[in-house]
A and B are shown apart, each in its own frame.
Chain A
């Protein structure tokens, strides 16, 4: 870890030390993504807005199908288009709207300023190229390193994510790595060019629990060292509690609650968040007879939302919930909730 590039990255984190005022690195406003499929439109992302401060870790939580991945992939237009179409929204990064960039400019951001880690490490690496080749690719494209420099940097990166005898392993193919090791490689690739933002889409879901814990430790550690802002997608509120600064809870393709961790866990406001927290297995006290789940089904995203998507599963639903989709109300300056119950307090 003596390389200039990593020192450079570390120095960024100094700027982000608590004394410096946090700056917004990424601002998403009114993002809306639709899939035009053969059996009609799927409204996967509905008016999603959030900000990411430098050095912050934002957790995004929600059930399967709530639109977490599609939201994040929309930011860099990584979705197959068609069928996907980004209908509305702004993604401000570095003073530019990423959605307005042409593909050429967008490619400089992808893997350069914003790194991506995907859900399934078993299929996210190309099986026929060596791990070294795949780590070196973004280094050569974005940092314009020559072969030798790229190799040295790749070795550092592998050491950084805790892969032993890194120099030898560069020559290995992905199938020669275990799942956890492959996810480390994915992290190394995402971090290769010192990104300002790292988007991790359920990086531990496909891994077993001990490996999961290791990966979380690595990311925590790297965040300390490199100081980038992170978006961490998961459906595990327990994981988020341990690492996030703020959390956005997604349901039906929209953010239903958005708060800092303390508020979210102490005083969850949205009925969906409460239900989610209840499904967490308790560590103390009596154990539940069985794992709890939220009754009812995930919402159907065909057609635009005209009512609260959670209403059919909500115990506190009333008439208004079925007539109008609630906007995000400010609960306090640290917490927002998209629930008509907050209307009065607003």
Chain B
């Protein structure tokens, strides 16, 4: 298993390089100018100077190489200096065209918002999905199952820009129960501020959790149904085990194998942020950062963010495979 993991990690390197190259050229192909957002009063010569200072006039491969060098060398050295107090000469860090501050600093500023909102919603979504999936399968075609199917249909088919706005209209505008804007500067210090935080999280978390719940509960239901018909379930019953043990130990343990890998594959999306939901509720997380950077043609930021996502995706694919091997004794790598 260890050998397998190491081999997979090495194989990931060319994949990631290729992905970042493709992203780089895609972003460069789009006709955007990093100086376009600057005031019109700035004379063209100055604009040209700014472009030069950003390095946009250099050949594409040089630009890509520079970014790669900054990512692989400057950034790690910088963080080493920060954390271990080393004294490396770090050179230039990756700088955002828009804000002229290091991209990594912005990412680290925004990460907590995204993780709180999107991460919580993922957890909540999974926790709701598990009992729904189990009961729906065990009582197939019951009222509960039909209701679960209906809710999942909604979760699958209603996009968050609709459900998000809908809950804002109902719970903020009409009823006035919940704030419509997520205040990222809010700090939890005591019970009251916790309640405020809780209230502002309810809507974005629920809108996102609905999607996770819909997906995971359907998946678990299908997997449970598959397993409920297996011969080993009859054996378990013939041994005189209680239904609780038959379903929650024998059937669930088998049914969770594919579900857990699906859950693992969904984790990178948490870091990616929920682009639309973050916009709707004004959560300034990573998803929102990506959108505004694309709009502004901020290549270093887009490039760095997408590269991070790519790394996470490759990593969690590996995690999913390794988990599969750990959970299913029939699967052995190497």
Interface of A with B (CB < 8 Å)?
73, 76, 78, 103, 107-112, 115-116, 118, 120, 123-129, 137-138, 141-142, 173, 175, 186, 189
Contacts and interface: CB of A to CB of B under 8 A. Distances in A.
Interface of B: 230-232, 234-243, 245, 250, 253-254, 257, 327-330
A231 to B, nearest CB: 14
Contacts of B230: 123
A126 B328 contact: no
A176 to B, nearest CB: 8
A112 B240 CA distance: 7
Nearest to A119: B231
Contacts of B238: 76, 78, 110-111, 115-116, 118
A124 B235 contact: yes
Contact of A127 (B237, B241, B329): B329
A125 B231 CA distance: 8
Contacts of A189: 235, 239
A61 B330 CA distance: 36
Given A107-B242, A120-B231, A123-B232, 4 more contacts: A108-B240, A110-B237, A112-B240, A116-B235
Nearest 7 CB-CB pairs, A to B?
A: A111-B240, A111-B239, A110-B240, A116-B238, A123-B231, A173-B329, A126-B232
Given A111-B240, A123-B230, A138-B240, A128 B235 contact: no
B253 to A, nearest CB: 5
A290 B51 CA distance: 90
Contact of A118 (B231, B254, B257, B330): B231
A173 B332 CA distance: 13
Contact of A126 (B236, B242, B257): B236
B9 to A, nearest CB: 27
Nearest to B328: A128
A68 B241 CA distance: 24
Given A120-B231, A124-B235, A141 B329 contact: no
Contacts of B237: 78, 110
A127 B254 contact: yes
28 contacts: A76-B238, A103-B243, A107-B241, A109-B240, A110-B238, A111-B239, A115-B238, A116-B238, A118-B235, A118-B238, A123-B232, A124-B232, A124-B234, A124-B235, A126-B236, A126-B250, A127-B254, A127-B328, A128-B327, A128-B329, A137-B239, A137-B245, A138-B239, A138-B241, A141-B239, A142-B240, A173-B329, A175-B330
A127 B329 CA distance: 8
Nearest to A139: B239
A45 B330 CA distance: 38
A15 B237 CA distance: 30
A110 B240 CA distance: 5
A142 B243 CA distance: 15
Given A129-B253, A175-B330, A118 B239 contact: no
A58 B187 CA distance: 76
Contacts of B241: 107, 111, 137-138, 141
Given A173-B330, A175-B329, A126 B240 contact: no
A141 B238 CA distance: 12
Contacts of B330: 127, 173, 175
Nearest to A109: B240
Nearest to A113: B240
B225 to A, nearest CB: 12
Q: Which of B240, B241, B242 has the most CB of A within 10 A?
A: B240
Contacts of A73: 234
Nearest to B254: A128
A327 B250 CA distance: 43
Contacts of B245: 137
Contact of B231 (A124, A128, A129): A124
A299 B242 CA distance: 37
A126 B232 CA distance: 5
Nearest to B331: A175
A108 to B, nearest CB: 7
B285 to A, nearest CB: 38
Contacts of A107: 240-242
Contacts of A120: 231
Given A107-B241, A127-B330, A141-B240, A186 B235 contact: yes
Nearest to A142: B240
Nearest to A193: B240
Contacts of B234: 73, 78, 118, 124
A14 B270 CA distance: 68
A116 B242 CA distance: 16
A76 B240 CA distance: 10
B324 to A, nearest CB: 12
B108 to A, nearest CB: 41
Contacts of A137: 236, 239, 241, 245
Contacts of B250: 126, 129
A112 to B, nearest CB: 6
